[in-house]
A and B are shown apart, each in its own frame.
Chain A
Amino acid sequence: MTAQRWLVSLKTIVLYVLLLVFLTPFLIIIMNSFKTTEQFVDNPLSLPQGLTLDNYTSAWDSMNFWDGFMNSLTITVLSVLVILLFSSMTGYLFVRFKWRVNGWLFFAMLASLALPFQVLMIPLVMLYGNLGLLDSKAILIFMYAGFGVPFGVFTFHGFIKGIPYELEESAFMEGSSRVHTFFRIVLPLLKPVFVTLIVLDVLWIWNDYLLPSLVLLSPDYRTLPLSTYNFFSSYSVDFSPLMAGLIMTIIPVLVMYLFLQKQIIKGITEGALK
């Protein structure tokens, strides 16, 4: 091997070591989630003796993991579907119909992208609280739709602009209606935008804490971030089940990441460069 090739391999090894250090926090927590709390306090760096799942079963029960998981799943899936449907249709409307009202609405949506959630949360809670609409998963999904639609419309708008109108025209000639044409001809072409938006919106909604903490008040409605918070606030010294709880919360996202790595990285890149 030449000196240069050696240098390249050395660099790769250094990078892998760096990555290992970077991910050490995960490794330490995973390792200790298989030990008892006494063993952890005694020496957090000792290897676990055997693979006991006691901490996992105890965390599963104490944090109502299954309920939290199902709540997170329902809310994320439904919110993302609603955002995709609403914003693709509206993006299409804004591109194909240059009415003045559409121009204003599009401008308002673009401007709203600059608004942080912090400016909206207090009036939001106040208004919906006054109307007695808080503490409902449906309202939370509706709110995610409201927050997610502007970026969705913006992204679809940019993409639909590049689709030639002739495709739709020939469909109209054959007597296809506007709605039918949109779903049959335009929607299938939007697949790359769907992937980008699904990635960004799933990660945002799945991990969000602040909005659900303000909207979902009943313990039964808790999403995973809320049950994690609750678990840590009420079991603050029994470390081992807490660590198992963290790992269990991380696993669903990690599994998704393993399967959709490429799409996720691509989605993130495209979302950031917009």
Chain B
Amino acid sequence: MTRKQWMRNTGIFLLFGGPSVIAFMAVVVIPFVVGLYLTFTNWDVNTGDSSLVGLANYKQVWLDTVFWQQLWFTLRYVFCTVVLANVAAFFIALALTGGRRGEQWLRTGFFTPNLIGGIVLGYLWQTLFSQVLPYLGEKYGWSLFATSWLTDTDKAFWALVIVTAWQLIGYLMIIYIAGFAGVPGDILEAANMDGASRMAIIRKIMLPLTVPAIVICIFVSLSRSFLTYDINLALTKGGPFNSTELATYHIVQKAFLSNEYGVGQAEAVVLFAVVAIVALTQSYLLKRLEVES
């Protein structure tokens, strides 16, 4: 390569790649590396102390029973949210894949909650759970709604699940609809001709042929619900008595309220590892169910 050509290529690289690479390095790569380093130090905002402490932070995470309780709470929450959102989205999508008039409107409607941020949705439901439902409970004597769901740990858990699923359903529905569009019409017709029941068609044809869509949907709902923060903050604010703090909420508190950056970062790394393991395992297991149409 001549010197002139080399100069020209460098110029092209800096012009086309420079801005992206600088932003990517400064916002993602460097913080990631510093973050890993941080987990091995006892960095403190107030003292400015940042000596290496080896695995002490990870040991502290290991011994932090509150963190593991909240991680277990998060896992249960993720499981219920993923199941509820996917089952609902699957059947809504199924009902909205027939080429009938008005389907477009229905899809638009079911998608609406997904457009709105978790903070706004969280406060919207907080008002419902703390004011509207107890009113109904009192008026009609429904003991289920007699007190606000948000003041009771078990019910607040379900409040979180319902609101997150409610937001996710529209998004997952869109993916399922795209998946159903890929099921060849002649197979369905043949099954209809042979007199297969609706349930049989769903179980024997729709489910196996939409495994790729199911894998995507479970992956998306898993990673989204594992990382929930906004809804948690606006709906329960971790309460009652910090019993509904999801993992992210706990990490934010640890780092930015208690100023324990090292431990908080170690917990974030552990959370990331858990999410990655769960998400990859489900993809691997479900992909084996895939069939060619």
Q: A8-B100, A15-B106, A239-B127 are in contact. Are A118 and B227 (CB under 8 A)?
A: yes
In B261-275, the 8 Å CB interface with A consists of 261, 264-265, 268-269, 271-272, 275
* Residue of A whose beta carbon sits closest to that of B96: A15
Q: Is residue B180 within 8 Å, beta carbon to beta carbon, of the partner chain?
A: no
| B272-A225 in contact (CB<8A) | no
In B36-93, the 8 Å CB interface with A consists of 38, 43, 92
Chain B binding site: helix, strand, loop or mixed by DSSP? helix
| Contacts beyond the supplied A117-B227, A121-B255, A225-B119: 18 A-B pairs with Cβ under 8 Å | A12-B102, A15-B95, A19-B106, A40-B131, A89-B19, A119-B32, A119-B269, A120-B32, A123-B35, A124-B31, A126-B34, A146-B28, A179-B15, A207-B119, A228-B123, A232-B123, A265-B174, A272-B171
In A201-223, the 8 Å CB interface with B consists of 203, 206-210, 214
Q: How far is the CA of A232 from the CA of B271 in the complex (A)?
A: 29
Q: Is residue B183 within 8 Å, beta carbon to beta carbon, of the partner chain?
A: no
| B111-A265 in contact (CB<8A) | yes
| B234-A116 in contact (CB<8A) | no
| A115-B120 in contact (CB<8A) | no
Q: Is residue A193 within 8 Å, beta carbon to beta carbon, of the partner chain?
A: no
Interface size grouping (class) on chain B: 35 or more
Which A residues touch B220, using CB under 8 A? 272
Chain B 171-212, CB-CB to A under 8 Å as 1, else 0, gives: 100110010000000000000000000000000000000000
Chain A 171-191, CB-CB to B under 8 Å as 1, else 0, gives: 000000011001000000000
Considering only CB atoms and an 8 Å cut-off, how many residues of chain A contact the other chain? 86
Cβ-closest 6 pairs across A and B? A146-B27, A207-B117, A93-B16, A123-B35, A146-B23, A90-B20
Nearest CB in chain A: distance from B157 CB, A: 19
Sample of 28 A–B contacts (CB below 8 Å): A16-B106, A19-B110, A22-B109, A25-B124, A28-B128, A44-B135, A92-B16, A97-B12, A99-B9, A108-B24, A112-B32, A115-B272, A118-B251, A119-B268, A119-B271, A122-B264, A122-B268, A126-B38, A178-B12, A209-B117, A209-B229, A210-B230, A225-B230, A246-B123, A246-B124, A253-B115, A254-B115, A272-B178
- CB < 8 Å neighbour of B31 from A45, A99, A127: A127
Chain A 220-247, CB-CB to B under 8 Å as 1, else 0, gives: 0000010011001000000100110010
| B271-A229 in contact (CB<8A) | no
Q: How far is the CA of A114 from the CA of B29 in the complex (A)?
A: 13
| A115-B28 in contact (CB<8A) | yes
Nearest CB in chain A: distance from B81 CB, A: 16
Q: Is residue B116 within 8 Å, beta carbon to beta carbon, of the partner chain?
A: yes
Q: Is residue B158 within 8 Å, beta carbon to beta carbon, of the partner chain?
A: no
Q: How far is the CA of A208 from the CA of B92 in the complex (A)?
A: 28
Which B residues touch A209, using CB under 8 A? 117-119, 229-230, 233
Q: Is residue A105 within 8 Å, beta carbon to beta carbon, of the partner chain?
A: yes
Q: Is residue B108 within 8 Å, beta carbon to beta carbon, of the partner chain?
A: yes
Which B residues touch A161, using CB under 8 A? none
| A142-B27 in contact (CB<8A) | yes
| A22-B175 in contact (CB<8A) | no
Q: How far is the CA of A172 from the CA of B171 in the complex (A)?
A: 44
Which B residues touch A149, using CB under 8 A? 20, 23-24
Q: Is residue A147 within 8 Å, beta carbon to beta carbon, of the partner chain?
A: yes
Nearest CB in chain B: distance from A101 CB, A: 7
Chain B 205-245, CB-CB to A under 8 Å as 1, else 0, gives: 00000000000100010010011011001100000000000
Which A residues touch B175, using CB under 8 A? 269, 272-273
Q: Is residue B17 within 8 Å, beta carbon to beta carbon, of the partner chain?
A: yes
Q: Is residue B112 within 8 Å, beta carbon to beta carbon, of the partner chain?
A: yes
| A120-B31 in contact (CB<8A) | yes
Q: Is residue A136 within 8 Å, beta carbon to beta carbon, of the partner chain?
A: no
Q: How far is the CA of A261 from the CA of B174 in the complex (A)?
A: 13
| B265-A250 in contact (CB<8A) | no
- CB < 8 Å neighbour of A272 from B34, B127, B216: B216
* Residue of A whose beta carbon sits closest to that of B279: A114
- CB < 8 Å neighbour of B178 from A153, A207, A210, A269: A269
Q: Is residue B125 within 8 Å, beta carbon to beta carbon, of the partner chain?
A: yes
Nearest CB in chain B: distance from A60 CB, A: 16
Q: Is residue B248 within 8 Å, beta carbon to beta carbon, of the partner chain?
A: yes
Which B residues touch A265, using CB under 8 A? 107-108, 111, 174
Q: How far is the CA of A262 from the CA of B120 in the complex (A)?
A: 24
Which A residues touch B107, using CB under 8 A? 265
Q: Is residue A145 within 8 Å, beta carbon to beta carbon, of the partner chain?
A: yes
Q: Is residue B146 within 8 Å, beta carbon to beta carbon, of the partner chain?
A: no
Which B residues touch A78, using CB under 8 A? none
Which A residues touch B119, using CB under 8 A? 207, 209, 225, 228-229
Q: How far is the CA of A120 from the CA of B43 in the complex (A)?
A: 16
Chain A 68-105, CB-CB to B under 8 Å as 1, else 0, gives: 00000000000000000111011011100101011001
- CB < 8 Å neighbour of B19 from A86, A179, A268: A86
Q: How far is the CA of A28 from the CA of B127 in the complex (A)?
A: 10
| B17-A93 in contact (CB<8A) | yes
